[in-house]
Copies of this chain bind each other. A is one copy, B any other.
Amino acid sequence: MHIIADNIQITNPLIAKALDEMDPLPVQDLAKKCEAAGADILDINPGPLTRDGEEKMSFLVEAVQQVCNLPLSLDTSNPSAMAAGTKASREKPVINGFSLEPAKLEKILPLAAKFDCDIIGFLLYPNGMVPGSAEERLNLAVQLFEEFNEKGIEPQRLIIDPALVPLMWEDGSRQAMEILTVIRMLTDLIGFPVRTIVGLSNLTSGKGPKEKKLFLEAVYLSMLASVGLDMVLMNIFNQNTVSVVRACDSITRQGTFSWEEVP
């Protein structure tokens, strides 16, 4: 499983300040720490970028690339900022992401075609609502592939995010189990190995003790690994969760087992 570090984000006050002052050093420091902690991909999430979006996204991409060779995933709802960040990227980034929401279909999805990039597609209704069942999610996945087909984008470019919901929602644990079914069934439904991703912290968002949240996330991540999850967006500094990813790999990879690969 590939780990996408979600640490470089605007909700981190150090990143917010660095972006405000266009100071690359705090961004670079964090990028290096994420790489050292085991990230495979760095997500760059500057928020909606209502002002100077292109300049700011380019600044972040360039700052990170000066100190780090990891591939990037670009996380903004601002299409021109997304385009600028994609142009600034040495290697094709992952576009994070789109859904059936009209604004995303019209403005973000075409960037995947234009720049020939992988793109994350969320299983959400056009109004942004979360689907309630495995069947609804699988129907939405088919619709995402239809959009790809219409726009002439390679279907292998789509990475599906089934949209985790908090366990604390009234039907949260039921949805958590349905999402396992969705990930397990996607490949058979679509007819080739569809890549999948989740934003792990969504499972426990809301109030709750941090240690219990991390414990639940790690347990659920093992379940996700067993149905073939390809990527996880997570805080790379949660080292126990990283260890769980490695342990899952040693079981699911189906190669020769080696204790050296177990954390």
Contact = CB atoms under 8 A, between A and B. Distances in A.
A215 interface: yes
Contact of A212 (B180, B208, B226, B262): B262
- Is chain A's binding surface mostly helix, strand, loop or mixed? helix
B262 A226 contact: no
A247 B215 contact: yes
Contact of A257 (B168, B219, B223, B252): B168
Contact of A219 (B172, B173, B216, B251): B251
B177 A215 contact: no
Interface in A224-263: 225-227, 243-244, 247-248, 250-257, 259, 262-263
A152 interface: no
Interface in A156-187: 167-170, 172-174, 176-177, 180
A243 B214 CA distance: 13
Interface of A: 167-170, 172-174, 176-177, 180, 208-209, 212, 215-216, 219-220, 222-223, 225-227, 243-244, 247-248, 250-257, 259, 262-263
